[in-house]
Amino acid sequence: MSDGHFRGDPRPPMRFLDLLPAGRVRTGLVARDKPGLLEHLAQLLADAGDVGPVHAALAARERLGTTGLGHGVAIPHGRSAAIGEARGAFVRLAAPIDFGADDGQPVDLVAALVVPVHFTDQHLKLLGELAELFSDPAITRALRAAPDDAGLRAALAAPRG
């Protein structure tokens, strides 16, 4: 299979948290608008590599329609031939910004994802995982209450049940 997970493979499927080292989790990120936020996210996701292709992937997807889910959450994502592995970032903004979400609410919680072009199935699974995660008001409350970067990552990693 092209998503990096083979039938019969004893390894569990990739989760968003697997793509999220501590260095790509930020609280209090300052972004004035959506383009500025996408630039910050591209810098985080590029891992000191070329920011251009990552930014282009995020911006291209956003032009197709907003990735603002509503309730203050957005999941900007894209696919790029310029990267060899899936990468994630998570930020809580210092102040919410307009992201064009259908409910009209500004966004303050942002999970970003960029994957290689061939990760089609895995990309969709990761987006589904994030959508399910952020549909739980208790989780979004915990993310908004986290005191710092480490607390934010811990809130994302907390067992669900």
Residue type, 127: L
Could you confirm whether 77 is annotated as catalytic?
Answer: yes
* Beta carbons of 104 and 39 less than 8 angstroms apart: no
Q: Which phi and psi angles does 8 have, rounded to 5°?
A: 85, -5
- Cα dist. 9→106, 117, 142 in Å? 41, 22, 34
Q: Of the residues 40, 55, 77, 123, which is catalytic?
A: 77
Round to whole Å and give the CA distance between 30 and 38. Answer: 12
* Beta carbons of 90 and 126 less than 8 angstroms apart: no
Residues annotated as catalytic are 77
